[in-house]
A and B are shown apart, each in its own frame.
Chain A
Amino acid sequence: MNDQSMTPEERAANLKGMGCSRKRVEDVRFTQGKGNYVDDIKMDGMLFGDFVRSPYAHARVVSVNKEAALALPGVVAVLTAEDLAPLGLHWMPTLAGDKQMVLADGKVLFQGQEVAYVVAEDRYIAADAVDLVEVEYEELPVLTDPFEALKSDVVLREDLEGQTEGAHGPRKHHNHIFTWEVGDKDGTEAVLGGAEVVAEEMVYYHRTHPCPLETCGCVASMDKVTGKLTLYGTFQAPHAIRTVVSLISGLAEHNIRVISPDIGGGFGNKVGAYPGYVCSVVASIVTGKPVKWIEDRMENLMSTAFARDYWMHGKIAATKEGKITGLWCHTTADHGGFDACADPTKFPAGFMNICTGSYDIPTAYLAVDGVYTNKAPGGVAYRCSFRVTEAAYFIERMIEVLAIKLNMDAAELRRINFIRADQFPYQSALGWEYDSGDYHTAWDKALKAVGYEDLRKEQAQRVEDFKAGKTRKLLGIGLTHFTEIVGAGPVKNCDILGLGMFDSCEIRIHPTGSAIARLGTISQGQGHATTFAQIIASEIGLPADDITLEEGDTDTAPYGLGTYGSRSTPVAGAATAMAARKIRAKAQMIAAYLLEVHDDDVEWDVDRFAVKGAPERFKTMKEIAFAAYNQAIPGLEPGLEAVSYYDPPNMTYPFGAYICVMEIDVDTGEWEIRQFYALDDCGTRINPMIIEGQVHGGVTEALAIAMGQEIAYDEMGNVKTGTLMDFFIPTAWETPNYTTDHTVTPSPHHPIGAKGVGESPNVGGVPAFSNAVHDAFRPFGLVQSHMPHDHWRIWKIANGLGLHG
């Protein structure tokens, strides 16, 4: 370390700090099958829980007969709502201010709802016992359409009857949950009334599901001797889960230890609290034994955490030249049987009010009505920040619809409406302050990279060829410029269940100059152990390889709100940098003491403090670390550690330009992605390799959603897409190669300028794919067609346009 022959650049490279594509430390375990996921946990005497679920979408539960199940050898207990009621646990609060049945309390509201919880010695016996529980149902009329639900006499939530005030204001109907309004209603309507051009469209973003490859699950273990409950589980927010468990179970919070082990993907599915967790905790308390519950895939798709299901009615006003003057949106949000959306408390429709997108729209209005239906609860942010994907899809479709109305090129329409670089920080009409951006630069770079002009010429030729009968394939060019809003969020306006959405990092430097850092977040594949160590390495000059990262154990990690909504880097990443800077500040004093100069006379130099003007006189961080533990330094406590709880001053606003070139077979509806270009600006880039990987994965999830993935119901409320046969997840065969690119516009308010990237590719990808489908048919008169664009729906577009002769 004291080798003075090394240049500062060489010393910096040795740290493997920010900006380098450091290989992931997690992978050594994962590649040899040594991950530790929740279903890998096995404890002495562990029991297994399994659910009896409703086959009906809406029914009264007349009776539950447990006898035959209890008679099966190996069955320990069968719990119903009646058993949980004395504990007050037959219902639980949701993250959205509603409540949800843990086990069916007299009725069921969606297919797959939890009716009884069987506890047995192993999962085979539990499954056999589930079959033996006899439940008598009386079917009720089913409502699967939110518009119909708002008119229907059928009362879904009888428990709320007569309650005209909900968690988010007045309820207009017994199946209505809330109305949320933002912006200037009168002003927007006035602009629409006087506009030269108005385009109007209904944009539906269908119901889908995050479907991580690992389903949800937990192991609850109540130690009756110590009175301590340990709860292992697939939790994207372990600390919040601890608080929730404490609040609803009455167990003191210090007697609960929540541990998120390795998580096999989350994508929003693992943010909420599910009946499986509550029942497992109860079962462990009752039996005194550890109880494991692991969803199967059908249960996962049917019951935990759907996403989207937004009907977005839009009107967009512009001048004849294409300058947008106003945006109006009314959304009907299908929330299913219980409002269990995972949004910050003050935002019942998440950050849907980012729906003015990348455009300088002076006047706007948004209203969202939440509605109960006979579908599963959820409404999670599936690889996006709260409802941002819906917002981005909405505006990127409305732009295309407006371009059609104006007979303009959609790339040019975007360009003339972008917020200019000199307008940042930019106040949006719907209340956000965009931190930074340079949209025109990104856009021009993207168009140039794909050869946009030539693509349009090729497309025009293709249309001619098609009309001349020379080809049956059309070419679609899908454009998107998205602006994300992530990093929730400032405690002043962001909380979940009253918990402010700050995050945290604690760093301890060991005497020999290695370190451990603990965070309030939890990785589900993002590579936190790799990237957060890089932040620390750059901030305090110790090699990333010497820094251990730990997350997910509430007994050891500082309190934080967890990982979702691309908040880890913007919030916990900032906390990490701030904690590291506290350490560096103390290290400066130690160095000055050791070098016998004033604090102000030393300066930071990559991995050391050196005397100003005398760089040969220095102390490395390693030396300083040791000194922190063996020197009695006047006025300084021994040791070298720090903790930071970071309350971000603002959200961050990553953005990007995505272009998809798609070939479409008019006769079969089959498609092929010929080219996909993704330019992301996520501010400062911590690990380019990981950023690129996040983009690949996020765009692929977007591909799935746009081109076929849905949770579909029939009119009886039966889930039609309950296995991976029908729930579309593309394989390596259907997935294209992507070209990634970037610009760098740092966030001015983030300590290291980083904005977060995990969810941008989903937010930008969905409209890029969908716009490509629409664009292919635009020359034949298509304006709007709903996702998912699976083969038959694409075929239906072609058929409706008379392209089948």
Chain B
Amino acid sequence: MSKMHVKLNVNGREVEGLAEPRMLLIHFLRENLRITGPHIGCETSHCGACTVDIDGKSVKSCTVFVAQANGAEVTTVEGLVNDDGSLGVIQEMFREHHGLQCGFCTPGMITRAHRLLQENPTPTEEEVRFGMAGNLCRCTGYQNIVKAIMASADMLNAQKEAAE
């Protein structure tokens, strides 16, 4: 099968490569770019472990051909780390509130939570649960994930206030 030239901006970096159009974005990220934060859990767009941010949308990258993503801006969990290498707010809050165990769903959870809080900076618990319903976790029972996201919202809002 012939390969196509693919150009993406991933975590603020321009990347290029050759890939078959059928290659799934998750494989392009993981195999070609060695960005292994997003994981493969279910392959039928139910679990959300592969969630990345594409042009401001939370997307399950196991259900997107790399050809479809050609030209897009992609953010993965690796791109949510602060410039100095320290953990971003949501990452830190997941740690603080024990919002992860095996860590396999975590990159997708955090990436989704990032978009959720961009769109709704002051969510209720119900809104967090509804907004995170595209991400499955087998370890935590979600209670501490929800707690971590609520705490992230508070912290992000406090930071914004302090900056203003």
Contacts and interface: CB of A to CB of B under 8 A. Distances in A.
A358 to B, nearest CB: 24
Given A24-B95, A696-B143, A30 B103 contact: yes
A731 B136 contact: yes
Interface in A193-248: 211-215
Contact of A124 (B23, B41, B87, B141): B23
A798 to B, nearest CB: 27
B77 A32 contact: yes
Interface in A702-731: 723-725, 729, 731
A214 B37 contact: no
B42 A214 contact: no
B129 interface: yes
B61 interface: no
Contact of A731 (B35, B95, B133): B133
B84 to A, nearest CB: 13
A723 B46 contact: yes
Interface stretch (A388-396, A475-483, A519-527): A519-527
A6 interface: no
Given A212-B138, A697-B140, A31 B44 contact: no
Contact of A214 (B104, B107, B142): B104
A296 interface: yes
Nearest to B110: A31
B9 interface: no
B81 A213 contact: no
Given A31-B87, A33-B78, A693-B140, A725 B22 contact: no
Contacts of B96: 23
B133 A33 contact: no
Interface in A582-604: none
Contacts of B92: 31
Interface string A17-42: 00000011011111111110101101
Contact of A724 (B34, B40, B76, B136): B136
Given A213-B47, A214-B39, A697 B101 contact: yes
Secondary structure call for the A interface:
loop
A700 interface: yes
A35 B142 contact: no
A527 B95 contact: no
B112 to A, nearest CB: 11
A645 B72 CA distance: 55
A62 interface: no
Given A23-B95, A213-B102, A265-B138, A37 B143 contact: no
A126 to B, nearest CB: 13
Contacts of B43: 296-298
Interface string B92-106: 101110101111111
Contacts of A42: 31, 34
Contacts of B104: 35, 37, 212-214, 264-265
A732 B87 contact: no
A732 B40 contact: no
Interface string A733-748: 1010110000000000
Interface residues of B, number: 59
B146 interface: yes
Contacts of B135: 731-732
Contacts of B94: 27, 31
Contacts of A696: 140-144
B102 A265 contact: yes
Contacts of A723: 42, 44, 46
B36 A732 contact: no
A421 to B, nearest CB: 31
A267 B78 CA distance: 28
B129 A733 contact: yes
A1 interface: no
B103 A693 contact: no
B133 A265 contact: no
Contacts of A701: 138
B42 A697 contact: no
A690 interface: yes
A679 interface: no
Contact of A213 (B27, B41, B130): B41
Contact of B103 (A23, A35, A699, A732): A35
B98 A693 contact: yes
A32 B37 CA distance: 7
B138 A30 contact: no
A214 B31 CA distance: 17
B47 A724 contact: yes
Interface in B39-64: 39-44, 46-47, 49
A725 B76 CA distance: 25
A692 B46 CA distance: 27
A733 B133 contact: yes
B128 A732 contact: yes
Nearest to B129: A732
A40 B36 contact: yes
- Counting chain A CB atoms within 10 Å of each CB, which of B40, B92, B138, B141 scores highest? B141
A731 B112 CA distance: 14
B21 to A, nearest CB: 11
B150 to A, nearest CB: 12
A37 B46 CA distance: 20
Given A27-B100, A213-B47, A724-B136, A735 B142 contact: yes
A42 B129 CA distance: 36
A74 B86 CA distance: 42
A212 B134 CA distance: 17
- Counting chain B CB atoms within 10 Å of each CB, which of A31, A524, A525, A527 scores highest? A31
Contacts of A693: 98, 101, 139-140, 144
B100 to A, nearest CB: 6
B48 to A, nearest CB: 9
B102 A32 contact: no
A213 to B, nearest CB: 5
B137 interface: yes
A732 B132 contact: yes
B145 interface: yes
A563 B22 CA distance: 39
A503 to B, nearest CB: 20
Contacts of B46: 723-725
B86 to A, nearest CB: 10
Contacts of A27: 94-95, 100, 103
A550 interface: no
A32 B142 contact: no
B141 A31 contact: no
A733 B125 CA distance: 10
Nearest to A692: B98
A699 B138 CA distance: 11
A262 interface: yes
Interface in A94-127: 122-124
Contacts of B132: 731-732
Interface in A663-719: 689-690, 692-694, 696-701
State the 9 A-B residue pairs at the shortest beta-carbon distance, nearest first: A33-B37, A525-B102, A264-B104, A30-B103, A696-B141, A525-B101, A700-B141, A724-B46, A31-B91
20 contacts: A33-B35, A33-B38, A39-B40, A42-B34, A124-B22, A213-B137, A214-B41, A265-B102, A296-B43, A297-B42, A298-B43, A525-B101, A526-B101, A693-B144, A723-B42, A725-B44, A731-B134, A732-B132, A732-B133, A732-B146
Interface of B: 20, 22-23, 27, 30-31, 34-44, 46-47, 49, 76-78, 80-81, 87, 91-92, 94-96, 98, 100-107, 110, 128-130, 132-146
Given A214-B104, A524-B102, A696-B142, 7 more contacts: A24-B98, A26-B103, A39-B40, A40-B30, A696-B140, A700-B141, A738-B141
